[in-house]
Amino acid sequence: MANAFKRVANYLGLVDDEDDLQPIVEVEQPARTRSVRAVPSTTEAAAPSWAAPSVKVSAASPVASRPAPVQQELPVMDQIFTIHPRFYNEARTVGEMFRQGQPVLMNLSDMDETERKRLVDFASGLVFGHFGSIERVTSKVFLLTPPNVRVSTEGKVAATEASFFNQS
């Protein structure tokens, strides 16, 4: 059976030499008693310097949990960056400010319809990639918020419910 696997491996190019195709002769060895070492409750494997940080594995759970992502120091939220782009080329400024953890308010009223759609698509991807959120303030104004900023919509809901024109 093992010889068949080696032939297939050779056919697929997974084996370097044909010397590995020699038949395997299994020799029966006398039964040995194996000694079992006691495993400490927490072990830490030594890893090379280029490897990812090691994960502590508990003896109680055989599956290692993933280490928590490293959070970078985020700036104090004392202002919102506002931009009135006229061309799609200004998307870079939006991306740089958002990546720094700054909320961005985009007023797209001065843009063409096609470029406005492209910039909204770019902002949506940017927000998705950085776990933030995007909210439409008006038909042409969007607020991009990083994950550490929450926007309350309670006032918006209350205004909608109290509206005279709301017939629902």
Per residue in 39-48, pLDDT tens?
A: 454 444 454 4
CB atoms within 10 A of CB 21: 13
Domain residue spans in the chain?
81-154
| Fold classified for 81-154 | Translation Initiation Factor IF3 (3.30.110)
In the predicted model, what is the mean pLDDT of residues 46-71? Answer: 52
* Burial annotation 122-159 (CB, 10 A radius, 16+ → b, else e): ebeebbeeeebbbeeeeeeebbbbbeebeeeeeeeeee
pLDDT in tens, 110-163: 999 999 999 999 999 999 999 999 999 999 999 999 988 887 777 666 666 666
Phi, psi of 134 (to 5 degrees): -125, 140
Output the pLDDT for position 54. 47
State pTM to two decimals. 0.49
pLDDT band at 10 (very low <50, low <70, confident <90, very high): confident
pLDDT above 80 (res 1): no
